[in-house]
Amino acid sequence: MLRILVIEDSPVGMALTVAALEDAGHVVLQAERAAFGVDVARREQPDLVLVDIHLAGTDGLQAARLLKSDPLTARIPVLALAAFAIRGGDAEARAAGCDGVVTQPIRYKEFAAVVDAVMRRRTLASR
């Protein structure tokens, strides 16, 4: 079970993502805006952050940059949420500090594989 912060401004996207994560047994923290999500990450220190790329105001890639540049949150893995595959989007997300990209709506098997890979890399890096 992981504590996962979801930063998503679409009520439908949030509901679907939270439902998938809770059904998988994870504890979900929620934020509708990037700035609030960064604050929650600093305070709560989740195991993983999922951030929608297309947030109103500060976008998800900028939120990822903020998380990765802050010593309090730099070690937390960040996965970008994208409503659809965007050509070059994966490279752009990685350049912003994201550890991977998950396409919405979340497909459990694909999501689980990405989370497992990210968490394995984090465990190996902390040794």
Q: According to the model, what pLDDT value does residue 44 have?
A: 98
CB atoms within 10 A of CB 110: 11
The rounded average pLDDT for each run of 10 residues, N- to C-terminus, in the chain (127 residues) is: 94 90 91 97 97 90 96 96 67 87 81 81 75
Single-letter amino acid code for the residue at 121: R
Q: According to the model, what pLDDT value does residue 110 have?
A: 81
Q: What CATH number belongs to 3-125?
A: 3.40.50.2300
Q: According to the model, what pLDDT value does residue 90 have?
A: 78
Q: According to the model, what pLDDT value does residue 117 have?
A: 83
Classify 6 as helix, strand or coil. strand
Q: According to the model, what pLDDT value does residue 91 have?
A: 80
Round to whole Å and give the CA distance between 13 and 85. Answer: 16
Whether the predicted model's global pTM rises above the 0.85 cut? yes
Instruction: Name the phi and psi angles at 5, rounded to 5.
Output: -95, 125
